[in-house]
Structure 1
């Protein structure tokens, strides 16, 4: 009787403890939910204010010849808060870039285990930089901005705030996905690995630069393969290296993160993502597609040509490959399927067009190269058009070959009246890429500011068109703006973390060694270009474009320049090589994104995409060894 009573008491106590834990977990989730709603609202407001400040600055300078001297400082201050709030939202929404190709094939229980491991790595990194980020704020308080005359600490406070909010979000996510067993297993594993690395500190120091393989290949590689977000994989590798090999303070990581996300030119990233969101909401992207379908839909392979043209035009506006595909596929694919097109063939074509459109301005990768490698963004915008045209024509020829036996007798040719009507409706959208390019080339606005011209152009034209067509989806506006902020934060956090990682690689002496090795490759320019192509195809499949550029661009561009390779030409080669890697199965995450957007299984697309990718590889070699294609308009 006594034993039964003790058992009941024990069960009651355990139940009360479990109830307390559940209550604590639910309270944390509720707190995080409230915080994220507030962060999203503030971030969207910051994005709108940022756009207004820059647009007013352009008008004041170019129209009234009276520059607003404080606008750049205000934009930079807002930008870092926008970046960190975007990174917070991306973590909460599970939208940080990461490699899930391996983890996604595991059972549900193992997926949960890796998700727990991922969040614990994120928490570990954030915990390590929490105090340094606060110290960075205090240090920057002694610096006063020249125009606004306020302490710079108010700007860097964004990093500390972002770290705190991300820690809350990560803990809330852990409380939802992890049970006690999974949490304990992952904690033991991380503790064991951390202890091993600390115990082997003398060994790492004795290895010289070979220790870079341990920290920046094995450690980061394991984190990436384990589905840890790429930004935090870079961060934990850099932290481990600094703690184990150098005497540098951890605040150096925060400082390099601050430096990495504070380039004024990177302001273009959230603005162009904002522009892409408005393009979809306003219905202007759909109008372009409807026009091209009416013009070419009746010819053999015509709808494939429409897809190519749509990707070419939309890529020149949104600046994001995923946004490009998401803008085109939902509007075009239903009509193409009605006309008998193979969904798997369409997904393969969508994937291959995604691989080649990153050179079309205003591409986020073009902007990133300009920021981190010191290349003129205006020159990149001009030089990127012809390589994209060459690749598009090559893919179009491949489409024609595959469509030669297609029966088009049941497809009616649209009348001139219908074509003319759809053209007039699509004309404002068709003019937008030319407007953006003209503003940059003529010096009306910088590459950073030009997106704001596009934003206000779409707002004005879209609203006028809505009076007649009622096509603006007002209910989607706020959600798409939150998505734009989240995507921007995910991209910019990678750039910041990769900047810290690049600093560690540079101070180790690896940069000088790599440049010497690359410049002494047999074959001179040709050998260097061939090795670069192979290297960036691999990097594109593993890291995606922007982190690969931020990490290796500052190391390899000086080597290319030393060999006499034009910066714009080398940029085109690098971008196209990374695009091939990103969309080449089985590792390329872009390939799986294209399949997801097309709503088809990757298994059926796998064999169909290789023909297109082979054509693009041939065009890559042509562009690499015929520099004129990239530099003729410079």
Structure 2
């Protein structure tokens, strides 16, 4: 008995030690790549706007570093268990089933990584024949990130399985994944005769099975795309790796890690707290006043971090203690916080807007311009519910801030308040790209923290940089996998059939818009925001154009619909993020959020019915 315990524990201890070493070997380069990305892009911006002599190599070097950052970030995210996954159903299961599904969530990505490692190596070798124009080096230096990142994720997945507390569960999960994979391979001759029925099997059946089982979304998409192409077509798998690379390497996406880091800087330097303190001094004495402040604060800070969880984490700890002291129920607080998460999805520089622009070709500056007013419309509908709920509050014990106090807090908040407006104005006016503005924003936030707010926690920089890499890697791997999946759908002719079916709906553009709203609410609740947009944006936008719907108007409607799904319980993962940030039990917010979700849907219908709200300020 003693011998068995030792033999069981020794591999786990060894795996734990190797995992710790691997963590340092990956996290430090990933953090340094974030710094390098900021420095290279800032050098390009400075050279272009200050020296008036553009650095021809800066974008190219940034693109090479970016793919490495994406892949190493994905490794960090896998090691930490931070890849986006739907856990609503997993959370409802019994402890035994939940433990089994948690192991499946490692075993299924392992199957995908084993499938992709060979084609990734072949892809990197093929890129040796291409030379980069500015740096004049083989493109293999960039493409090698794919096999290296895949290999490291493979190692991480194996170590996590070895570290698993229950080997019986691990072996059962591996056996189940192997059995499913084996049965799919055995049925390959049957699949080849099924035609487009395969789309249902792989892109509905397999994706639904893996996503609902809690397998990370990026790997669920990857398994479906690679499985479909390997077993039903003669397409070389190296082509699919190329589509993944294309999806992850879009220059517009360079701003993703930079905005994530900028959002963390705003919170760390006290800029977010300064904004909220000013708003609270203005409205704190009004019935439900701090709820209005919550709506306004989320509008101001939203989109800058690239993570709704980060936005909520910047606002909730500052406001919630005072709101609770005034008698607000925890369930009401978390319900409104989640609702503001959905309300602010279109506020620039939202990563959803940047991603949508990159996959559909819609102008980023037009999306930034069009996104401001829809957020205000939804804010008004939320504020109407706040007014109704808090109309009979007793505020006799609340002291109204004096003009002097308000003015003092305004002066403190001005540098912080200016940043979101400067960022949005620079992109909207075409002065700088979203990527360039994000680097300027980082410099501004660092200087404001050091010189104005005198708050800059150097010890937090390393974990912030690693967090940035992990979140960026998780987002970009989804985009890469979803791009390959969307390409497979297009190759199958499905997009043409979808266009014809949607175009044939009775009621024309209005019915198409209604169907899109319902579809994206469902997709938002199941797939989260960015995966839903990447996968279905390229399919739906051409149909909307044929219907005569403006691209920006349609973008605002689908993003808001997706946001409603993302933050609506019981499936919306955004709602559970709000609960985690607030440290409030999800059950408490289920009832109060119904009114806020209804208000969001009313606002969404108004935005859909009145195109001017999205397009009125376009040049």
TM range (shorter): over 0.9
Please, what TM-score do these two structures have when normalized by structure 2?
0.98
Output aligned runs, 1:430-579, within 5 Å: 430-467=417-454, 471-579=455-563
Tell me, yes or no, if the aligned pair for 1:317 and 1:432 is still in contact at 8 Å.
Answer: no
Structure 1 position 75 matched with structure 2 position 62: yes
Alpha-carbon distance, 1:160 to partner? 0.9
Residue in 1 that maps onto 2:154: 167
Tell me, yes or no, if the aligned pair for 2:332 and 2:592 is still in contact at 8 Å.
Answer: yes
Residue in 1 that maps onto 2:576: 592
User: Aligned match of 2:604 in 610, 614, 620?
Assistant: 620
Residue in 2 that maps onto 1:239: 226
* SS of alignment partner, residue 96 of structure 1: coil
Alpha-carbon distance, 1:20 to partner? 4.5
Residue in 1 that maps onto 2:10: 23
Structure 1 position 223 matched with structure 2 position 207: no
2:530, 2:200 → 1: CA distance?
21
Q: How many residues align?
A: 618
* SS of alignment partner, residue 304 of structure 2: helix
Tell me, yes or no, if the aligned pair for 2:346 and 2:560 is still in contact at 8 Å.
Answer: yes
Output aligned runs, 1:278-357, within 5 Å: 278-357=265-344
Alpha-carbon distance, 1:253 to partner? 2.4
2:125, 2:187 → 1: CA distance?
34
User: Aligned match of 1:145 in 129, 132, 136?
Assistant: 132
1:23, 1:177 → 2: CA distance?
12
1:616, 1:114 → 2: CA distance?
34
2:607, 2:48 → 1: CA distance?
38
Residue in 2 that maps onto 1:3: none
CA offset digits 1:371-430 (Å, max 9, x no partner): 000000000000000111111112112211111100011000011121111111111110
Alpha-carbon distance, 1:21 to partner? 5.0
Alpha-carbon distance, 1:562 to partner? 1.1
Tell me, yes or no, if the aligned pair for 1:99 and 1:229 is still in contact at 8 Å.
Answer: yes
Alpha-carbon distance, 1:256 to partner? 1.2
Structure 1 position 102 matched with structure 2 position 92: no
Tell me, yes or no, if the aligned pair for 2:576 and 2:586 is still in contact at 8 Å.
Answer: yes
Question: 426-435 vs 18-27, which deviates more?
Answer: 18-27
* SS of alignment partner, residue 359 of structure 1: coil
User: Aligned match of 1:126 in 92, 110, 113?
Assistant: 113
Alpha-carbon distance, 1:238 to partner? 1.3
Can you give the 5+ residue segments of structure 2 that lack an aligned partner in the other structure? none
2:355, 2:304 → 1: CA distance?
16
Tell me, yes or no, if the aligned pair for 2:270 and 2:453 is still in contact at 8 Å.
Answer: no
Alpha-carbon distance, 1:475 to partner? 2.5
2:370, 2:506 → 1: CA distance?
28
User: Aligned match of 1:410 in 397, 401, 411?
Assistant: 397
User: Aligned match of 1:258 in 228, 245, 258?
Assistant: 245
CA offset digits 1:72-121 (Å, max 9, x no partner): 00110110011011101110111100011111223333222112112111
2:58, 2:381 → 1: CA distance?
44
2:133, 2:254 → 1: CA distance?
20
CA offset digits 1:245-268 (Å, max 9, x no partner): 011122122111111101000011
Tell me, yes or no, if the aligned pair for 2:330 and 2:588 is still in contact at 8 Å.
Answer: no
CA offset digits 1:3-43 (Å, max 9, x no partner): xxxxxxxx68xx1x653453333223212211211211111
Output aligned runs, 1:356-395, within 5 Å: 356-395=343-382
CA offset digits 1:161-198 (Å, max 9, x no partner): 11111111111111122533212222322232223222
* SS of alignment partner, residue 196 of structure 2: helix
1:62, 1:184 → 2: CA distance?
59
Q: Which has the larger radius of gyration?
A: 1
* SS of alignment partner, residue 102 of structure 1: helix
1:534, 1:252 → 2: CA distance?
34
1:416, 1:481 → 2: CA distance?
40
2:287, 2:488 → 1: CA distance?
54
* SS of alignment partner, residue 133 of structure 2: coil
The 3 A distance-change label for structure 1 pair 245 and 178 is: farther
Alpha-carbon distance, 1:449 to partner? 1.6
